[in-house]
Chain A
Amino acid sequence: MQNESVLLVEDDPSDFRLIQRAFNKLGERFEMFRLTNGDEAIAYLSGDDPYENRGAHPMPSMLLLDLKLPRRSGFEVLEWVRRQSSALSRLPVVVLTSSRHSVDINRAYDLGANSYLVKPATNSQLEDLASQFRNYWMSLNEFPSLAEQPRGMND
């Protein structure tokens, strides 16, 4: 599972606690950092103060992003990421939110979300979600490089 890590952006403390609990129950764990609002997320990804030290605040391999956030919304964070001219724009983003509204789903895909997950009602469903998430993204998926590199095939 290499050194993949997930940056979770979730503002609701109850939701966060339950999510954390579900992921912690998994056998093989991976790093998960948590932020509580959109501005913080962007500052983290930009390496702005107080996140300049990449030793203490490493770049995550992907984002797990709620949509309803204080300050900047999940949509705005997603838009910001995709708008970057650096390799950061490739950052895989999985939306994890309570809305099953097709307007939100479509908008997330339009803005470039890699995947859209709906927060389930029960703990056991949440544990299933955590397990599938780990199995797919952490064990199977190949991640892009986020450090600047000379771009290859699409020039």
Chain B
Amino acid sequence: MTDATLRTILLVEDEPTDVALMTRAFEKARVMNPVVHLVDGDEVLRYLAGKGEYADRVKYPLPAVILLDLKLPGATGMQILQWMRVQGEIRRIPVVVLTSDESPKTIDAAYDLGANSYLVKPGNPAEVSRMVQTIQQYWIKLNEPPQLVMRAEAE
């Protein structure tokens, strides 16, 4: 993953209003990177594990960063974090928890399960927009992503 514009963002969010806000924010920030949007925790596991259609890593590449809501249908955000920890290369992928839960216990638990960062969803669209821009600048342009082999390894 050398070219920053090719790095994929995996957005895991099932709340339609939040999805709309995020999508708009990505557009405004002129984020050129491919954004994969999933709404179900089990689907996320399948994606990361390369099951089924996701085995095609050219079409469904492993992301350079995952934006992860905690409240999801299927596997929860915490369960996804837990699952990733015991995988092979997958566990290197940075996960930014992006959720409405502000409680210190949840924050602590997320870090304990290996979250790289924790962001609280802001209230208004302007702040969401700023947040998305900062996320893109930091995690896509600045941060060095792990080097992953393109095929899926996870069980």
Contacts and interface: CB of A to CB of B under 8 A. Distances in A.
Interface string A129-147: 1001101110111111100
Interface residues of B, number: 36
A102 interface: yes
A92 to B, nearest CB: 7
A154 B112 contact: yes
Interface size class of A (residues with CB under 8 A): 35 or more
Contacts of A89: 112
Interface string B78-119: 100010000001011010000000101111111111101111
B143 A115 contact: yes
A68 B19 CA distance: 42
A118 B144 contact: yes
Contact of A136 (B102, B112, B134, B147): B134
A87 B109 CA distance: 10
Contacts of A109: 91-92, 94, 146
A90 B137 contact: no
Q: Is the interface of B mostly helix, strand, loop or mixed?
A: helix
A49 interface: no
A117 B142 contact: yes
A21 interface: no
Interface of B: 78, 82, 89, 91-92, 94, 102, 104-114, 116-120, 131, 134-135, 137-139, 141-147
Interface of A: 87, 89-90, 92, 100, 102, 105-106, 109-110, 112, 114-118, 128-129, 132-133, 135-137, 139-145, 149, 151-154
6 contacts: A92-B111, A114-B117, A115-B117, A136-B117, A140-B134, A142-B102
